[in-house]
């Protein structure tokens, strides 16, 4: 099974440890991982701002880098969802459509494709799980609290395999953190207030760490935590699953 590792641009630059953990986790799970070094960005920042027509260059590069793999896996639900929903090509739409069906977020790849049953990971901390909206309502990594439907959670399933980890309960199970891409700067006041309120939910329920399958949410929450000198830390789920201590 040939897997192309898709590392979103900001993860590559600001959170290389999450990328390394993803790379190592995939290697450990027995798949053949390749990292195409010429990848750039999924195009979401432009598209979500209403400039989808400017994301063609990104689309072409994505297709160039990833069309040869059986699966494409990335540690970011948001970027993966963008590819799944909006990757198109003027040159070869069939190829783009094919890529849209084989791109996976890391957690769902581990649970649905690799069908992982155990992990050699130890993380003796109290952890709050933040569901990114794109992971939750876009990729259906967990059941959505609004629906009258049976509960399930792929990230929780994996976190349950980590020794020593204690998952805290939140008052609001799956509320948005307020990052929202460009929203975080164009609607700064609302974005920060949403982030602060999410953090309060985690901290008052005893979280030492907030984890998620999306680093964009975590980057936003981390920025607020740092500013307020909070002891609560953020960590990408790949780093926990890969055996962080």
Binding to another protein by residue 176, rule CB under 8 A? yes
Among 57, 151, 164, 206, binds another protein (CB under 8 A): 57
Shortest distance in whole angstroms from residue 166 CB to another protein: 26
Give the CA distances from residue 30 to residues 20, 160, 200, in Å, rounded to whole numbers and listed in that order: 16, 21, 39
Which residues, in sequence order, are bridge partners of residue 163? Answer: 122
- 165 versus 174: smaller Cβ distance to another protein: 174
Q: What is the Cα–Cα distance from 60 to 10, expressed in whole angstroms?
A: 19
Which residues, in sequence order, are bridge partners of residue 129? Answer: 211
Residue 126: is it exposed, middle or buried by C-beta count within 10 angstroms (0-12/13-18/19+)?
middle
Tell me which residues in 7-26 interact with another protein (CB under 8 A). Answer: 7, 9, 11-17, 19-20, 23
Tell me which residues in 190-219 interact with another protein (CB under 8 A). Answer: 190-195, 197, 219
| Per-residue DSSP letter, 54 | G
Residue given tokens 């936003």 in the structure block: 220
Q: What is the Cα–Cα distance from 178 to 187, expressed in whole angstroms?
A: 9
Shortest distance in whole angstroms from residue 209 CB to another protein: 16
| Half-sphere exposure (Cβ direction) of 229: Cα atoms closer than 13 Å | 0
Binding to another protein by residue 37, rule CB under 8 A? yes
Among 27, 28, 49, 126, binds another protein (CB under 8 A): 49
Name the phi and psi angles at 154, rounded to 5: -70, -45
Binding to another protein by residue 104, rule CB under 8 A? no
Binding to another protein by residue 67, rule CB under 8 A? no
Shortest distance in whole angstroms from residue 119 CB to another protein: 22
- 20 versus 126: smaller Cβ distance to another protein: 20
- 163 versus 226: smaller Cβ distance to another protein: 226
Among 184, 199, 237, 241, binds another protein (CB under 8 A): 184
Shortest distance in whole angstroms from residue 57 CB to another protein: 3
Residue 87: is it exposed, middle or buried by C-beta count within 10 angstroms (0-12/13-18/19+)?
buried
Tell me which residues in 127-156 interact with another protein (CB under 8 A). Answer: 133, 136-138, 144-149
Binding to another protein by residue 82, rule CB under 8 A? no
Residue given tokens 């680093």 in the structure block: 215
Dihedral angle at the C-alpha atoms of 174, 180, 185, 190, nearest 10 degrees? -40
- 84 versus 165: smaller Cβ distance to another protein: 84
Shortest distance in whole angstroms from residue 131 CB to another protein: 10
Among 91, 163, 169, 172, binds another protein (CB under 8 A): 172
| Per-residue DSSP letter, 43 | S
């Amino acid at each position: 099974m040939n897997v192309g590792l898709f590392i979103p641009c900001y993860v590559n630059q600001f959170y290389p440890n999450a990328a390394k953990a993803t790379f190592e986790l995939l290697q450990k799970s027995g798949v053949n991982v390749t990292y195409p070094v010429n990848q750039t960005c999924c195009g979401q920042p432009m598209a979500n701002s209403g400039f989808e027509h400017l994301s063609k260059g990104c689309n072409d590069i994505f297709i160039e880098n990833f069309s040869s793999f059986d699966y494409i896996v990335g540690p970011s639900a948001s970027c993966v969802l963008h590819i799944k929903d909006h990757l198109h090509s003027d040159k070869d739409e069939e190829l783009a459509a094919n890529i849209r069906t084989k791109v996976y977020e890391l957690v769902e790849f581990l649970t649905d494709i690799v069908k992982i049953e155990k992990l050699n990971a130890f993380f003796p901390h109290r952890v709050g799980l933040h569901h990114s909206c794109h992971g939750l309502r876009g990729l259906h990594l967990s059941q959505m609290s609004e629906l009258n439907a049976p509960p399930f959670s792929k990230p929780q399933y994996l976190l349950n395999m980590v020794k020593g980890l204690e998952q805290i309960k939140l008052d609001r199970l799956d509320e948005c953190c307020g990052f929202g891409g460009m929203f975080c700067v164009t609607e700064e006041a609302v974005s920060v207030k949403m982030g602060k309120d999410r953090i309060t939910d985690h901290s008052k329920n005893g979280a030492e760490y907030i984890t998620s399958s999306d680093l964009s949410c975590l980057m936003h929450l981390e920025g607020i935590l740092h500013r307020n000198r909070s002891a609560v830390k953020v960590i990408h789920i790949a780093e926990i699953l890969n055996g962080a201590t």
